[in-house]
Amino acid sequence: MNASGWSAAELAGKAVLECGSGAGRFTEVLCETGAQVTSVDISSAVHANAASNGHFPRLRLVQASIYALPFPEESFDFLFCCGVIQHTPDVEKTFKTLFRYLRPGGRFCIDVYAAIVAYPHPRQLLRPITKHVPPAKLYALVEKAVPKLLPLSMKLSAVPWAGQCLARLIPVANHRYLGVTDRETARSWSVLDTFDWLSPRYEKPQTRRRLERWTQELGLREVSIERHRGLYVIRGVK
């Protein structure tokens, strides 16, 4: 959420569309601002999100495809979509479809894997196999592997100068760079994100030039495209 640059005061009472919520890690943060959050996912992860965040009175959870959202167009003040569009069949179509639901003057934050940085990641060696493993079985394997691999990744990431590069050699998500210090939180996030690396059918990183062209074609304003490690974070105003 820090990447969005939004404050709780800005979000309070506003209509926020979160696309591709997964189990609801960011949904919780959005709800805690007092926003009216509509959180969408195409998968059964909406049930896990409901179990974790269903107590928030201003949360609406919907299972639907980004390509066919059951909402009036231009009905949201904020659009948040992180960890999603690179895993869809047509990334350009996905990116442009999202903006149909954002009001003129509304603000957005979307991220996507950055080409060429994403290509040499060790997950690319595993995905041809893991994307065919049934999700429940793969998740169980990731849960067993993370406690063994994460401590090694953490040690490598602490090496001066070369830590980030060395940590990438271990195929496990490491949130040290986000300042996550609680051991249980670090383990939980690592399991979720490592599973997200290995399970999707599609993975299509994008170039900065392509992202710039899409934002220009949509007429978006105040656009910034920043690279955060292996991601491009796109922010601005419709």
CATH number at residue 225: 3.40.50.150
For residue 85, give the nearest of 200, 2, 188, 190 by alpha carbon. 200
Contact of 106 with 76, CB cutoff 8 Å: yes
Same domain? For 217 and 178 the reply is no
Residues 165, 217, single domain; the answer is no
Q: Are 33 and 145 within one domain?
A: no
- Could you tell me if 110 and 212 lie in one domain? yes
Task: Return the number of other C-beta atoms located less than 10 Å from residue 10's C-beta.
Answer: 15
Looking at the fold, whether 44 and 153 belong to one and the same domain comes out as no
What pLDDT score was predicted for residue 205? 97
**31-44 tens-digit pLDDT:** 999 999 999 999 98
Distances (CA, A) of 15 to 33, 43, 80, 82: 11, 22, 11, 17
Quote the number of domains for the chain: 2
Same domain assignment for residues 98 and 50: yes
32 and 61 assigned to the same domain: yes
Per-residue pLDDT tens for 162-211?
Answer: 988 899 899 999 988 667 778 898 899 899 899 999 999 999 999 999 99
Asked if residue 33 and residue 127 are part of one domain, the reply reads no
Domain containing 224 equals 2-115+203-237
67 with 7, same domain: the answer is yes
